Amino acid sequence: MASFSWPSPGASTIVSAGLDRSVASYACSPDGKTLYLLAEDAGHERLYSVPASGGPTRSLTDTPTGVYTNLTIPAKSASPLLLANWESAIHPAEIVRIDPSGDGHVSLTDFNRERAGEIDWQPPREFWFTSKAGRRIHNMVVLPPAFDEHAKYPLLVLIHGGPHNMWRDQFLLRWNYHLLAEPGFVLLLTNYTGSTGFGERFAQDIQGDPLAGCGREVNEAADEAVRQFPFIDGSRMAAAGASYGGHLTNWLQATTTRYRCLISHAGLINLESQWGTSDTIYSREVNNGGPVWEQGRVWREQNPARHAQNFKTPMLLSVGENDFRVPLNQTLENWSYLQRLRIPSRLIVWPDENHWIQKGENSRYFYQEVYSWLKKYLQN
């Protein structure tokens, strides 16, 4: 965070120099002396404070579950009154009052408590491992309903988009963990290199290695999950993702046959044609080490389309016609490779969706198709 003088801004003053995390929201104490911050940290969003004039940043919560969002402080309160949303993967968002001394929070609303308490779900289990490249990688495992510790379950490796994003202990709609686990799957959520919430260097280390390194970490995470959790059946695994998660799913198609099936929504298949048709170009050049016409190493070596001879895994493809981030041409090109190679595949095009599937009935249909695809290849 930075501050400027008012009303004549000059040079900025860095306020939170000691915090190697991206600030999501902040609020000022009524006396103007303290800033309270929310920032992503290893699958959570936590509360910090820092003097408004700058100085050491102090962590105020070490919440083992959930995330805080939308922090606000009433300007006319006699003392700091910290209000925010709190939610977790098994607790839809409620309004809470956070104790600034670090003693947790008090719920002010309970809109969802009764219904959430009727659902058979468990909080994600978190684990870390050190990749072969020497990086510490954070993961979460989500369990299906009626979970039996002594049974064996197929594994769905779910890959987040971004890449500058993070799987969080949060209630999501687009990829709802427990909806995906409901048919009897265990989910693996890996915060691969490039994820936020693990420091600036970790987020930037994806530059120059946009797919291969992350793909290895996803595969290593699957191996580690099978090793750590006896209830996972390592012979029945699938992988899925959207946006950058779709990019990585397509990279897995090009580089491994360990997964029985794959699901890719809005994923690029060709670095070069994606560069020319997407609404973002410069960031792709940064990640890939230069413009496409220079044909640097990444453009040549980490382009899934250049490895189409390796494609073998059955694949479900999905895309919105109004997607300008990863345009329709990418999925159609992928479909052409799969059909030409006679790989079992299915294509869904959403005429009325963009980069996300936002309409309720479309989402319902999407989940039904995902269930059907996964059951076909995993439940036998």
Per-residue pLDDT for 80 more than 90? Answer: no
The CA distance from 305 to 308, in Å, is 5
Least confident of 4-8, 52-56, 133-137: 4-8
Domain ranges of the chain: 2-115, 121-378
Please report the beta strands in the chain, taking only residues with DSSP state E, as ranges in sequence order: 2-3, 13-14, 23-28, 34-41, 44-51, 58-59, 67-72, 82-88, 91-98, 105-107, 125-130, 136-142, 153-159, 186-191, 232-242, 261-265, 315-320, 345-350
Taking all residues of the chain, what is their mean pLDDT, rounded to a whole number?
A: 93
Per-residue model confidence (pLDDT) at position 13: 82
The CA distance from 109 to 145, in Å, is 26
**222 neighbors 240 (Cβ within 8 angstroms):** no
Per-residue model confidence (pLDDT) at position 53: 84
User: How many Cβ atoms sit within 10 Å of the Cβ of residue 330?
Assistant: 28
Per-residue model confidence (pLDDT) at position 55: 84
Per-residue pLDDT, averaged over 236-250, amounts to: 97
**Positive or negative: CA dihedral 254, 259, 262, 266:** negative
Per-residue pLDDT, averaged over 255-265, amounts to: 98
CATH classification code of 2-115: 2.120.10.30
The CA distance from 252 to 302, in Å, is 11
Per-residue model confidence (pLDDT) at position 104: 81
Q: How confident is the model at residue 340 (pLDDT cuts 50, 70, 90)?
A: very high
Residue-wise pLDDT for 151-167, tens only, equals 999 999 999 999 999 99
Reported residue count of the chain is 380
CA–CA distances in Å: residue 159 to residues 100, 230, 238:
35, 22, 11
Per-residue pLDDT, averaged over 253-272, amounts to: 97
Per-residue pLDDT for 170 more than 90? Answer: yes
Coil, helix or strand for 192?
A: coil
**285 neighbors 291 (Cβ within 8 angstroms):** yes
Q: HSE of 236 in the Cβ direction (CA atoms, 13 Å)?
A: 18
CA–CA distances in Å: residue 220 to residues 26, 131, 135, 229:
36, 7, 12, 14
The CA distance from 38 to 47, in Å, is 5
Per-residue model confidence (pLDDT) at position 296: 94
| Better-predicted residue by pLDDT, 76 or 210 | 210
Residue-wise pLDDT for 107-158, tens only, equals 999 999 999 999 999 999 999 999 999 999 999 999 999 999 999 999 999 9
Per-residue pLDDT for 78 more than 80? Answer: no
Q: How confident is the model at residue 2 (pLDDT cuts 50, 70, 90)?
A: confident
CA–CA distances in Å: residue 114 to residues 90, 95, 117, 122, 237:
12, 15, 5, 16, 34
Per-residue model confidence (pLDDT) at position 18: 82
Q: Which two tokens stand for residue 339?
A: 């059909």
The CA distance from 199 to 222, in Å, is 23
Residue-wise pLDDT for 290-304, tens only, equals 999 999 999 999 999
| Better-predicted residue by pLDDT, 98 or 256 | 256
Q: How confident is the model at residue 22 (pLDDT cuts 50, 70, 90)?
A: confident
Per-residue model confidence (pLDDT) at position 155: 98
Least confident of 94-108, 215-229, 365-379: 94-108
Instruction: Please report where in the chains the tokens 């969706």 appear, as a residue.
Output: 353
Per-residue pLDDT, averaged over 245-268, amounts to: 97
Over the range 34-66, which residues count as b (16 or more CB within 10 Å of their CB) and which as e? bbbbbbbbbbbbbbbbbebebeebeebbebebb
Q: Rounded to 5 degrees, what are φ and ψ at 200?
A: -65, -40
The third-level CATH classification (topology) of the domain covering 121-378 is: Rossmann fold (3.40.50)
Per-residue model confidence (pLDDT) at position 351: 96
Per-residue model confidence (pLDDT) at position 334: 97
Of 372, 374, 357, which Cα lies nearest the Cα of 173? 357
